[in-house]
């Protein structure tokens, strides 16, 4: 199987209720089933993998910069609980409902709190 890593199709930032912003990237169909990706520390929102499989599967992969990484506003002293609150605000602002969540490397702890 050949799995591709491609540049994002869509890029943006979303303002959270507290005024901070989170950067994000997307791959796959805009009307696909949303899946949030919590990337590792060194990759930020630019990590997208298996992008050639997303459209056939109807998946919209959304990779989000954690606070202080990429274009996301820093939030010193924040905890994993705070990250869950950020994701609640992010998914509400983007009208994503309760998407599936996956994590990669150092993004796994954020993914683990993805029961927001």
pTM, two decimal places: 0.85
* Average pLDDT of every residue of the chain: 83
| Non-local CB neighbours of 94 within 8 Å, separated by 6+ positions | 14, 62
Tell me which H or E stretch contains 59. strand 59-64
Residue 33 confidence (pLDDT): 96
- Residue pair 45/35 in contact (Cβ under 8 Å)? The answer is no
Per-residue pLDDT reduced to its tens digit, 18-48: 999 999 999 999 999 999 888 766 677 777 7
105: pLDDT confidence band, cut at 50, 70 and 90?
Answer: low
Residue 3 confidence (pLDDT): 58
Q: CA 12 to CA 94: how far, in whole Å? A: 11
Half-sphere exposure of 72 (CA within 13 A, CB side): 24
pLDDT over 70 for what percent of the chain?
81
Residue 1 confidence (pLDDT): 58
Residue 50 confidence (pLDDT): 78
The pair of three-digit structure tokens given for residue 108, joined into one six-digit string:
């796994």
């Amino acid at each position: 199987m050949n799995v591709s890593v491609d540049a994002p199709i869509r890029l943006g930032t979303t303002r959270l209720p507290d005024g901070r912003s989170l950067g994000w990237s997307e791959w796959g169909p805009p009307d696909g089933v949303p899946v949030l990706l919590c990337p590792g520390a060194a990759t930020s929102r630019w990590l997208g993998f298996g992008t050639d499989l997303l459209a056939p599967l109807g998946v919209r992969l959304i990779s989000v910069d954690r606070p202080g990484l990429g274009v996301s506003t820093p939030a010193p002293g924040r905890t994993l609980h705070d990250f869950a609150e950020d994701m609640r605000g992010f998914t509400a602002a983007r009208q994503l409902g309760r998407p599936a969540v996956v994590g990669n490397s150092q993004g796994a702890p954020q993914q683990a709190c993805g029961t927001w």
